[in-house]
Amino acid sequence: MRGNLDRRMGFRTVQLMAAAVSVILVLCVTTGIIGAFGKTDDGSYVLQDRSIAELMGDFGVICFDTLNVQTHLHSNFITKTLNANSNSGLRNSYGVYEEFYFEDAENMNGCVSDVDTDMLYTGADIRRVEDGSVYIIMNNGSEIKLDRPANVKTDAELAEKGEYSKYADMSDIQRRFIEYSLELRAYADTEETVDIDLDGDINNRRIAVNGDGMHAVSLDYNELSANTNPIYFEFPDCDGDTVLLMNIDLSGAQDVVFGDMIFGSKNDAKANDNGNYFNACNRMYFNFYDSSAADGQFSGSITFAGRGFGTVMAPKASVNLGHNWDGCVVSEIFSNSGEFHRVPGTDFPKEEPTTESTTTEDTTEDTTTEDTTAEDTTTEDTTTEDTTTEDTTTEDTTTEDTTTEDTTTEDTTTEDTTTEDTTTEDTTTEDTTTEDTTTEDTTTEDTTTENTTGTTTELTTTEETTTEHTTWSTTGTTVTMITTRSTPPGRHPDTGDRLPLKEITGVIVLALMGSAGIVIYKKVKK
C-alpha cells in the first residue's frame, strides 16, 4: 500500500518537474521574441526631429558623403564617411558639449574630439576591451584606438535599446537640406536694402547691408569670382540680428573658385579666430544652386581660396577650403586645407518663406492669401466688395436684386480658409447684365489651383501619415511645393508615435504561458 503511494508521489513529482521545464522553455522562447520585437528597425533616427536650423546650429560640418579632415577641424560634424588625418572638436577650454557622428571610416585620428566628455556615435563596428578602451573598425578591416571622447555608442546599440534605428540617416538629412536650399531661392530680393559694388575697384569690392533683419540678393558666379579678389561684407554691427542670404547661380560652371569672403569693411575686417564661436559672427549665407540642373542643385566643386565667414549651403557639391573659414558648411564632400572654426548662425533664415501681396492685372487687385489650407477643396467665405448683380441665380449660391455695370473686383481677401471634400460644379448666372466682366463655369474637384499673373504658387498636400517630405521646384517665376508625409513601420499613422510592440508582445507571451499552464494542469490532473 505504502509502496503504491510512494510510486504515485514519485510520478506526480516527475510530472511537476516536467511542467516546470516546459514553463522555462516557454519563457526562453518568448524572451527571444521580446528581444526581436524590442530591436528597432523602422528607419527612425535620433536627429530626425531636429529642424534644419537646429542641425546647422548643433553641427559645424554636415557632410553627406566623405569628410576629408586635412588640418584641425575646430568643430564637430556628422558625415557618412570619415577620412581624417587630424583631430577635431572645440577645445576643452570652451566648456561646450559636442556630439559627433560618422557612418563608417576610411581613416581617422585617435582624437575625434578634444573633450573627453563629448559623445561619438558611429555606424561602424567597434571592439571594446576590458580596460575600457575602444577600437574603431575601418572600412578595410584595420583597427584604430579611440583616445577621445570616452563615450561611444554605435547604431547597432541604439537599435538594441529599441528607441531608434540609428543616430543619423545622412541620405534623409541630405534630402531635407536640398528642399531647404530650394526654399531659400523663393525669397524675394531686397535690393533696396543691399548696396552691391562689384564692378569698381577690384581690390575694394563690397556688399553692404543697410538695416537689421533679413536681406536677400541673387548673384551669379561671374559677379563674385573676379580672379579670387576679396569681397568685403559690411553689416551695421556684429551683435545685431542682420542676416544676408545670397542665392548664387552656378549654372554652366563645374569647378568654381572664390577669393576672400571677409566679414567687415576693408578698414575694419574681422579676423578668423577660434573665439568667433562666442562672438557668433555668422551673418552671411551662401546658397549655391544650378538653375540648369534638373534638381536645381550644383554638383561640381567649390573652392574658397581665401579666408572667409558664413554658412555654405551646397548639399550636392564638393567644398574645399584653401584658407581659414568661420561658420558652417553643408556639402556632399568637404575638405579643409585651412582651419575650419565652427560658428553657429544666430539668426538662420526661416525654413518656410511666405509669399504676400500677389497682384493680377485687369482682374483682381491687391489679392492677399494668408494661412490657407487646401484639402480636397473649395473656397468659402470670399468677400467681394463694390459689386452689384441683379436677378442672379447660382447652384448653392443665390444673389438677388442686383445689377452689374463696369464692375471691378478689388481687395478680395481669403483668410484662414479650410475646405473639405466639397465640389462646386456648373455655376449658372441667369438674367444678368454684365459689362466688362467675365463669368466662367468652374468645376473644382479635390484640388485648388490659384493662378496669378507674375507669380504662380501651387500647393498639393497629401496627409495620412507623419513624416513630412516637402519638395520645392523653381522655374522662372513659378514656385511649386508638393508635400507628402510618410510614416515609418511601427509608428501610428496619425500621431507618428511608436506602436506599443513590447506591450502587445507581453500580452501574447502571457497568453502563451496561460495556455501552456492549462495544458500542463490537465495532464497533471489526469
Q: Residue 460: its pLDDT value, please? A: 41
Which of 309, 313, 306 lies closest to 281, judged by CA? 309
The one-letter amino acid code at 124 reads A
- SS3 assignment, position 11: helix
Reported as a pLDDT band with limits 50, 70 and 90, residue 272 is confident
Q: What is the Cα gyration radius of the chain?
A: 32
User: How many angstroms separate the CA atoms of 355 and 489, rounded?
Assistant: 36
Q: pLDDT-derived band of residue 377, with 50, 70 and 90 as boundaries? A: very low
Q: Of 219-223, 229-233, 368-372, 513-517, which range is least confident?
A: 368-372
505 C-beta neighbours (distance < 10 Å), count: 17
Find the helix packing angle between 501-525 and 2-38, rounded to 10°.
170
Confidence of residue 85 (pLDDT cuts 50, 70, 90): very high
Range with top average pLDDT, 280-289, 395-404, 417-426: 280-289
On whether the CB atoms of residues 58 and 99 are closer than 8 A, the answer is yes
Q: What is the percent of the chain with per-residue pLDDT over 70, rounded to a whole number?
A: 58
Q: How far is CA 322 from CA 71, 225, 258, 493, in A?
A: 11, 15, 10, 48
Give the pLDDT score at 25: 55
Question: Could you give the residue ranges of the DSSP H alpha helices within 119-154?
Answer: none
10-35: average pLDDT:
53
CB atoms within 10 A of CB 354: 10
> What's the whole-model pTM score?
0.64
**Nearest residue to 434 via CA among 396, 388, 397, 393:** 388
Give the residue with greater pLDDT, 302 vs 446: 302
Tens digits of residue pLDDT in 112-159: 999 999 999 999 999 999 999 999 999 999 999 999 999 999 999 999
Q: How many residues are listed for the chain in this entry? A: 526
List residues bridging with 478 in a β-sheet: 456, 475
Give the pLDDT score at 449: 37
Task: Output the 3-class SS for 138-180.
Answer: CCCCCEEECCECCEEEEHHHHHHHCCCCECCCHHHHHHHHHHH
Contact 194, 217 (CB under 8 A): yes
pLDDT at 56 over 90: yes
Q: Sort residue 429 into left (φ over 0), alpha (ψ -120 to 50) or beta.
A: beta
Which residue blocks in 185-275 are alpha helix, DSSP H? 221-224
pLDDT at 18 (0 to 100): 55
Rounded distance between C-alpha atoms, residue 143 and residue 145, angstroms = 7
- Determine the average pLDDT of the residues in 302-321: 96
Query: Residue 281: is its pLDDT beyond 50?
Result: yes
pLDDT of residue 67: 98
288, burial (CB in 10 Å: exposed 0-12, middle 13-18, buried 19+): buried
Sign of the alpha-carbon torsion through 182, 299, 476, 259: positive
The answer to whether 377 touches 447, Cβ cutoff 8 Å, is: yes
Over range 20-47, report the average pLDDT: 60
The CA-CA-CA angle for residues 243, 244, 250, to 5°, reads: 145
Amino acid at 363: T
Instruction: Give SS3 for 242.
Output: coil
Report the candidate in 121, 130, 180 with the shortest Cα–Cα distance to residue 151. 121
Residue 227 confidence (pLDDT): 67
* Per-residue cell: 411: 481687395
pLDDT in tens, 471-502: 444 444 333 444 344 445 555 444 445 555 55
Separation of alpha carbons 7 and 11, rounded Å: 6
Q: Are 127 and 135 in contact (CB under 8 A)?
A: yes
For residues 309 and 291, is the Cβ–Cβ distance under 8 A?
A: no
